[in-house]
Amino acid sequence: MQDDSLAPLPVARCGRAVFGPTSADPEVSPWNSLASYDLRANANDAVLSQGTNVRLGYDALGLHLLFIAQDTYPWATLTQRDSPLYKEEVCEVFLDTEGDGLSYYEIEVNPNNAVLDGCMRRVRNGFRKDFRWRCANLQTAVRIFDGGWAAELSIPFASVVNQAPAPGTRWRVNFTRIDRPLGLPRELSAWSPTGRAQFHIPERFGVLEFE
């Protein structure tokens, strides 16, 4: 059931820029000049104790994202590709490049720079997860700093679409985080909150527009 109290779907502007090596360093160009968006509590009545900001841009080859997460104690134990990172602390991106809600990609990165990537396809009773899919040539980096951690993802267009998006192209996307402070309940945050205790609701994905 759709929660009518949820805010309208947000729109993110994705500007073109020149990117250097993937480093998860918020201080290097062009991150300080790109569009920046804060994640909000995924449930309307929740209050976040540790916030998250995501910055985004693109170049001829791919989409670039930088999560900056406030965290007094970033932690994770999983290090292998496609481990269940969502059981610990993680930042995630969901990409519905067709915008039809029939399938979407999910890519996760944890504080150990471990990656989980998969494709979700709609079936009669929901969505089927396919973790055999690989985001070919994906590049990620993680940086732990005093008071938090940052994760950068460079997602090649060739891995998710047939051709690079032209200015004005729109995708349906969401940027999310699972934070598990020690001794406290988990915190779920999202750029486009779903109003539920999960993120896999493509109807609630926001809009990413390439400029």
Query: What's the confidence (pLDDT) of residue 123?
Result: 86
Query: What's the confidence (pLDDT) of residue 2?
Result: 46
Backbone dihedral angles phi then psi of residue 209, each to the nearest 5 degrees:
-115, 125
Query: What's the confidence (pLDDT) of residue 127?
Result: 85
Q: What parts of the chain have a pLDDT lower than 50?
A: 1-2
- DSSP bridge pairs for 187: 179
Query: What's the confidence (pLDDT) of residue 1?
Result: 40
pLDDT in tens, 90-131: 999 999 999 999 999 999 999 999 999 999 998 888 788 899
**Domain-wise residue ranges, the chain:** 35-195+204-210
SS (H, E, C) 54-86: EEEEECCCEEEEEEEEECCCCCCCCCCCCCCHH
Query: What's the confidence (pLDDT) of residue 5?
Result: 60
Query: What's the confidence (pLDDT) of residue 83?
Result: 97
Given the candidates 3.40.1190.10, 2.60.40.1190, 3.40.50.300, 2.60.40.10, the CATH classification of the domain at 35-195+204-210 is 2.60.40.1190
Query: What's the confidence (pLDDT) of residue 46?
Result: 79
Nearest to 94 by CA among 56, 76, 120, 114: 120
